[in-house]
Amino acid sequence: MPIRIVLADDHVLVRQGLRSLLEREKFQVVAEASDGQDAVRLSETHHPDIAVLDISMPTLNGIVAARELSRCCAKTKAILLTQHEEDQYIYEALEAGVKGYVLKNQVASDLIHAIQQVSRGEFYLSPGISRAVVEAYRSKSDRPVDPLTVRERQVLQLIAEGKSTKDAASLLGISVKTAESHRMRLMQKLDIHETASLVRYAVRRRLVEP
């Protein structure tokens, strides 16, 4: 029985390329998602062994999606794909229950190994980020976490992507007033008072691409 995979990346072309790679290795890609919410939804449906998640995705980024997955689909193990190796989110990723962390500027065999290793219940980290992991753990005590809750971060990401509060609400399946509440509270927490600064904050935090 082949290893079953859900594949999430917002670039269709990249996604199909990865799919082609994985299928060549006899993995079974049971579903593709172009955003975090889809990735979670499809994982709930298909119960794959592995979810390969790009970090920068609309609606839910890969880390938040991984956190969701560890709640709703404990069987599914998340492997994150990322472009940047100076990623300060490695810590959060590990905290979110991610089992593998693969850099996009590694060779394909790296992802293959990651999938095999993770599906055996082990961890996998791309070469070159071990240092970053150590860094992350070292500064664990004085880590500059942003004080936001998961929900607030979701709302923030959608706002920064250019969605209105109303759009964000319907995308998250909550009331407009609830979304407004989240938005207001996160702005209070961050001591930010306009959308513009909010967006710059989100860009700094790599919640969205500039």
Partner DNA sequence: AGCCGCATAGGGGAATCCCCTTATAGTTTG
Partner DNA sequence: CAAACTATAAGGGGATTCCCCTATGCGGCT
Identify which range of 94-102, 106-114, 116-124, 182-190 contacts DNA by CB under 7 A.
182-190
Please report which helix (H) or strand (E) contains residue 28, including its range.
Answer: strand 28-33
- Residue 190 touches DNA, criterion: CB under 7 A: no
Q: Does 106 bind DNA (CB under 7 A)?
A: no
Provide the edge-to-edge strand list for the sheet that holds 28-33.
28-33, 4-8, 50-54, 77-82, 100-103, 124-125
Out of 161, 174, 178, 180, the residue judged to bind its own copies by CB under 8 A: 161
For residue 62, count CB atoms less than 10 angstroms from its CB and return exposed for 0-12, middle for 13-18, buried for 19 or more.
buried
150 lines the binding site for DNA (CB under 7 A): yes
Q: Tell me, what amino acid is at 166?
A: K
165 makes contact with DNA (CB under 7 A): yes
Which residue, among 42, 50, 146, has the nearest Cα to 98 in the 3D structure?
Answer: 50
Contact call for residue 200 and DNA (CB under 7 A)? no
The 3-state secondary structure of 36-105, one letter per residue: HHHHHHHHHHHCCCEEEEECCCCCCCHHHHHHHHHHHCCCCEEEEEECCCCCCCHHHHHHCCCCEEEECC
Taking CA atoms, 56 is separated from 3, 46, 68, in Å, by 25, 23, 16
User: Nearer to its own copies by C-beta: 72 or 109?
Assistant: 109
Instruction: Quote the least distance from Cβ 71 to DNA, whole Å.
Output: 9
- Of its own copies, DNA, none, which one does residue 151 interact with (CB within 5 to 8 Å by kind)? DNA
- Which 3 state secondary structure label does DSSP give 147? coil
Spatial separation of the C-alpha atoms in residues 173 and 53, rounded to whole Å? 22
Is residue 160 part of the contact set for its own copies (CB under 8 A)?
yes
- Cβ proximity to its own copies, 108 vs 133, nearer residue: 108
Count of chain residues binding its own copies (CB under 8 A): 43
Q: Give the position of tokens 């980024």.
A: 61
Pick what 121 binds: its own copies, DNA, none; C-beta below 5 to 8 Å, kind-dependent.
none
Interface with its own copies in residues 24-83 (CB under 8 A)? 24, 34, 81, 83
Residue 102 binding its own copies, by CB under 8 A: yes
Binding region for its own copies (CB under 8 A): 10-14, 16-21, 24, 34, 81, 83, 102-108, 110-111, 159-164, 193-200, 203-204, 208-210
Residues that bind DNA (CB under 7 A): 149-152, 159, 164-166, 172, 174-178, 180-184, 187-188, 193-195, 198
